[in-house]
Structure 1
Amino acid sequence: MISILAILAVTTSGALGVIIDDFSCTSGGVYTAGATACSNTYSDQACQAIYKESAAGVGYPAAGNAVQRPFTCYSTSTTGGSINQDLRKTAIANCAKTCGFCCATPAYNCSNVQFPRLNCNTILPSQCTNPVYRDIIAQDCPSACGFCNQGTCVDAVPECEAYMCSNIGLQDFVNQNCKKTCARCDATPSNPSTPLCTTYPPDTQTTCAAWAANGFCKNDFYKNVWRQYCATTCKIC
């Protein structure tokens, strides 16, 4: 009788959504925000077809809930048990969100700084796309927004395109907002003497060196002119 009750207790707990076996991306018995912060490589519909709910109607992992992740995300058994690392790696690569494994993907699996300017545990998805927060998050809390592979440098806005990097009229914008796309990550806008990139459009005048010697590149009155004619000499992207 005791063994039957024990089995029923385990089965009932699973049906109610108690996390068992694999506690990845959980804290205090529930999933963290990082558990489902990423996107599936496959479509959500395909992932849910591959990885069925652990019990009918219980749903899938989400931040703050304790739904048992689909057993097949990590086990050869439909009721859980020992963890199969090959199955787990496949789930992480293809359906990490559905399986609640986002925190184990390369983009989210890294350390945050010891003393962040923001609380890394409370960062919202909206902050991950907000120009005000993105730079700070990339530097201090990369795991919160999937910035682990960005090298602490991200574009501040999602509209950046490669063609913008060489557009003379957009340099102020890309220097501020498109550092990743336009390779300006080491730029220091507050220090005009620091080049904002390493390659420049060619000069179109043969007298640029003489002009530069007379202070041409440092005179804002000629700003549009030296961008147009002496970009290499004046180190203008």
Structure 2
Amino acid sequence: MYFLIALLAVPFGQADVTSDLNCTSFNGSFFVYTPAAVACSNSISDEACKKLYPAVDTATPVYPAAGNNVGRPFACYTTATATPDPLVQDMKTAALQTCAKTCGLCCQTDAYNCVDAAFPRLNCKTITTAQCSSPAWRTIIAQDCPSACGFCNQGGCVDAVTNCGNDLSICQNVGMQDFVNNYCQKTCGRCPSTTAATSSGSGSVTTPRSPSGTCTSYAADSSTACSSWAANGFCTNTFYTAAQRKARCATTCKLC
């Protein structure tokens, strides 16, 4: 009994996450940082952040990383210099603005702090950095799991490839319309919820409009999640074929 009491009385070591448990999860033994804790970039250089926010253990400096439980630099959240004190919000606000990654606080920045879809098409908690950059996944993540990749301020629409802005002329290039409609939706204003093709074929150019149906009756939805899916762009997302959308949510999407 004495051993148990003594064990419980031992304070957290400097290597443990304390005071602010945001951007962490409990692994059964410790609170450890989630991938979203360090998914962003510092707004100033990493080296500058390390100067402003020295590691707790200066002899062997280790900073927050996905899966570890090293304590945040004290200056990230408190005025203390030796042992953790209660959170000081002004200190945390400054850290979020400059060195969120160094402090393991990315998940609380504006780009990463939002609510994901109620019924996402993939597990938001397991999304990797590679998926955030993948043309096959970016548009889906932006709609269903924006907090996983820092897409919270994108309105559910991102470019599927990341270099569309290098040459804006492609947005008006007739021969590139199929490409920009699929891969440069954000840059070229082709987000599914606000645009649609005015003509078919490889040379189609899109103009803004609201999606609407022309039927007076529709087949019944085969899924009970259609309302949630529709709110996240399912009815207009070109990742799915018209046949797939119709088979699942014909009524909700108003597909003949």
Classify the TM-score, shorter chain. 0.7 to 0.9
Q: Percent identity?
A: 51
1:134 aligned partner, one-letter code:
R
Structure 1 residue corresponding to 2:159, chosen from 155, 160, 175:
155
Preserved CA contact (<8 Å) 2:95 2:103: yes
2:76 maps to what in 1? 73
1:79-114 CA distances to partner (integer Å, 9 max, x unpaired)?
220211111011001100000000000000001111
Structure 2 residue corresponding to 1:60, chosen from 63, 66, 70:
63
- Looking at structure 2, the residues matched to 9 and 82 of structure 1 have their Cα atoms a distance apart, in angstroms, of 18
Q: How many residues align?
A: 191
- Looking at structure 2, the residues matched to 126 and 55 of structure 1 have their Cα atoms a distance apart, in angstroms, of 31
Change (3 A) 1:87 1:62: same
User: TM-score normalized by structure 2?
Assistant: 0.69
Equivalent residue runs for 1:1-237 within 5 Å: 9-10=10-11, 13-14=13-14, 17-28=15-26, 29-56=31-58, 57-78=60-81, 79-161=83-165, 162-185=168-191, 186-188=194-196, 192=200, 196-198=206-208
RMSD: 2.4
- Looking at structure 1, the residues matched to 101 and 76 of structure 2 have their Cα atoms a distance apart, in angstroms, of 11
Gap runs ≥5 in structure 1:
200-237
Displaced runs of 4 or more, over 6 A:
none
SS of alignment partner, residue 111 of structure 2: coil
Displacement after TM superposition at 1:173 (Å)? 1.1
User: TM-score normalized by structure 1?
Assistant: 0.75
- Looking at structure 2, the residues matched to 50 and 175 of structure 1 have their Cα atoms a distance apart, in angstroms, of 44
Indicate the structure (1 or 2) with the bigger Cα radius of gyration: 1
- Looking at structure 1, the residues matched to 133 and 119 of structure 2 have their Cα atoms a distance apart, in angstroms, of 22
SS of alignment partner, residue 162 of structure 2: coil
SS of alignment partner, residue 109 of structure 1: coil
Relative to total residues, which structure has the larger helix share, 1 or 2?
1
1:136 aligned partner, one-letter code:
I
2:246 maps to what in 1? none
Preserved CA contact (<8 Å) 1:187 1:195: no
